[in-house]
Structures are given as structure tokens and as C-alpha cells.
Amino acid sequence: MEIDVLYKDGALLVVNKPAGLYTLPDGYNPTLPHIKSVLECQVGPLWIVHRLDKGTSGVLMLARSAEAHRSLNIQFERHQVSKVYHALVIGNPEWHAKTVNLPLRPNGDRQHRTIIDPRAGKPAVTHLKVLERFVHYCLLEAIPETGRTHQIRAHLYTLGLSILGDKLYGKRNILHTGQKTQQSDQNYDLLIGLAESMGLHAVSLEIYHPLTGERMKFSAPYSGELMTVLEQLRSHAFGG
């Protein structure tokens, strides 16, 4: 499996994770390939620093030593890491920027989704900004202050927005108007045919290097699938 390496030294390995690949072994089928198993065959022992969902692409950082792993874990715990995501969503909100501050509890329903829970949930904050608008879709920037399971997906869900291709939190006909039309269904089917993965991409990750202390920022280009969908929307081929 071809995985693009964005940066590598004695302490860090930063890659552009493709959608469809697990970060860690799948709990139901541990024989499925995952980032750690694929990359350790090429570069030696690796430690997982943070996770991206299976359907999410983009910047993923792994430590190449136990010392680097400890340093990076501390940075995540102290909220010294800056992460930026882009999400292509079904829906076109009236707001331009919005901060969602709602506590989250993972595995909160029968579908094992993360839910809003004011009593038992843990604090979760996500900053959202519209980057580009289409008729029934928009491209959002999402900056999570916290790192809760499915945080961006769950917070968007509470706003009535669905990430394209998200089968767990998505709904086929979430539109800004709330109306179901034959054209919207057709648009969705065509777009989802192009986007076999989920339209959530980790654009950048910023940390302090565990050995030098230097502030470093790593960025990952969009996948080919996401670029194709955006080009189609921009060309108005699907009513975008």
C-alpha cells in the first residue's frame, strides 16, 4: 500500500493517511491492514500519537521512539497541538463562522455514535468557518480545541450538517432548505460515487519537535477523490 510520507527524521514520521485505512487494528477484524502494520514493515517500530477515523484522510503523525511518544503525548494533553480539518458537508448554513461548545460522550447510542451529553459528556470545543459555498453543499474549516472521539462529526451533526460520505452520522437528504427533491438525491448519488471515502481531511498539524523544541507545521494535500468532487461542484455539473 502506497502511503505518502510528508516528513521523517529520527523522532517523527508524518504521513498523508489515505481514507479507508485504519490507524490501529480494527476491533472486529484485527487482520485488516492499518497504518502501524503497513509502515512498521518499512521504517521499523512506531508509536501511535493520535488517531484519524478510517474514512478520514490527511496528516497523521507517528513517533519513532518511546521518548518522542511521551513528549508528543504531553503536548496533546496540554492542548499545545494545533489541528486543522476541512470538511465537505451536505448543507449550507446561514452563519459564516461558529464555535460549538457542547460536551460529548462516545459510544452513546445503539449505533455507537458520540452524542451530546451535558451531564456525563466531556468538554468539547470546535471552531467552524465556511470556506466555500455551493447550492446544497459547503466546504468548512474545522479547528478542534479538544480531541474527543468523532468530535467534528458529532458537532456538525448537532447543527444539521452531514459530512459527505459519512455513513455513521450522515443522512441522505440533509439540505439547508430541509426539502427532499429528486435533483438533490441525484446530486448526492453522483457525488458519493466520486467520493468513496468520507469528505473529511486533516489539512495540517502543528507541534513542538520532541527533540529540538522547534515549532513545526505539517500539511497534507487533498486526496484525488476529494479534489474531483470539489472540481465538479465548482463546475456546476451537479447543480453546485
Residue 27 domain flag: yes
Whichever domain contains 82, its CATH number is 3.30.2350.10
Residue 221 domain flag: yes
Res 193: pLDDT: 58
> Is residue 127 left, alpha or beta, with left meaning phi > 0 and alpha meaning psi from -120 to 50?
beta
Residue 77 domain flag: yes
Residue 240 domain flag: no
Residue 66 domain flag: yes
Q: Which residue has the cell 508528543?
A: 72
Q: 12 exposed, middle or buried (CB, 10 Å; 0-12, 13-18, 19+)?
A: buried
Q: How many domains does the chain have?
A: 1
Phi and psi torsions of 103, nearest 5°: -65, 145
Res 74: pLDDT: 97
Residue 239 domain flag: no
d(CA 95, CA 70): 40
Domain that holds residue 221: 4-234
Report whether 176 contacts 184 (CB < 8 A): no
End-to-end CA separation in angstroms for the chain: 34
Question: How far is C-alpha 231 from the geometric centre of its chain's CA atoms?
Answer: 20
From the first residue on, what is the mean pLDDT of each consecutive set of 10 residues in the chain (240 residues)? Answer: 92 95 80 88 94 94 97 95 96 95 92 92 97 93 95 95 89 42 53 68 98 97 91 72
Res 118: pLDDT: 94
Single-letter residue type at 109: D
Res 13: pLDDT: 98
Res 76: pLDDT: 95
Catalytic site residues? 53
Report whether 170 contacts 162 (CB < 8 A): yes
